[in-house]
Amino acid sequence: MAGKPVTTGSSSLRPLLHRVGLDEKESEIYLALLSLKVARAAAVAKVARQSRSHTYLILRALVQKGLVSEIERGKVLHFVAEPPERLLGYLDDRKQQLEELRPIVENSLPLFSSITSQFVGQPRVTFLRGIDGMKQIYRDTLKRDFCSLFNPEEMYTAFGGNVVTQVFGKNAELRGRDLLIDSPAARRYRNELKHGDAYQIRFLPKSVTFGTDTIVTEDTVALFAYDLDRTIVRIENANIATSFRAWFEVLWSISQKSS
């Protein structure tokens, strides 16, 4: 059975599916099956441009999520895309599961901490990838006092929206300073957040441009690359963080105040 091309009308759906909780391959295969409605794994793999074996495994995972079901036709297993409204049920399921997990994780934190070793006297550099990894680092850094060099336009493209409100809610109150690439996206970002004495925004000179986000806290520097891999480099070292803050102060002094 021929389906609609997965690219048709789906460019805005992929970021949304990522936010819902599907990774990139799950999103591609879900959209492929949605265009076919009912198909064997081999047909879905062809439309999604994935290997047949990997597609089968992901389809089974989507069955567990309640987004896909199975039927037999002539003793051959076919997969069926559930109505898109099932995405709302999936979100409800995730919310309930996370609420149930939170007290368990909180009670287990001392045990996790007891088995990890502290890095002493040297920078600790870690790499993360993907939208979920980015959100986790944003959650960790933006709840502290910070300074940041930021390109909101790249952020909106990567997350399909404002990552701050996605992580902290629409009434997010930050404590820090943001230097933004001067653009319409920067003004949109400014208008979506509360800013005052605790949180300030300035615009960089129009000649300054870059496609990343750099967040500096007291002892950590986090570098976000909005590339296909969504790469984050986190450096935990107070001396390096101090150097980055010194560069930030120079740029802050020549930046334009946000009205």
pLDDT tens digit string along 216-248? 999 999 999 988 888 899 998 989 999 999 999
Q: What is the pLDDT of residue 8?
A: 45
- Domains belonging to the chain, first-starting first, are 13-86 (1.10.10.10), 122-257 (3.30.870.10)
Q: What distance in Å separates the CA atoms of residue 225 and residue 175, rounded to the nearest whole number?
A: 23
What pLDDT score was predicted for residue 1? 47
CA 212 – CA 200 distance, rounded (Å): 19
CA distances in angstroms from 139 to 96, 133, 174, 193, 246, listed in the order given: 20, 10, 11, 16, 24
What is the C-alpha separation between 15 and 134, in angstroms, rounded?
A: 14
* Binned average pLDDT, 10 residues per bin, the chain of 259 residues: 51 84 91 93 94 93 91 89 89 86 87 68 80 88 92 90 89 91 92 85 89 92 88 91 93 82
Residue 212: predicted pLDDT? 87
Give me the numbers of helices (H) and strands (E) for the chain, helices first please: 10, 11
Per-residue pLDDT at 113: 76
In this prediction, residue 257 carries a pLDDT of 77
Please, are residues 148 and 220 in contact by the beta-carbon 8 Å criterion?
A: no
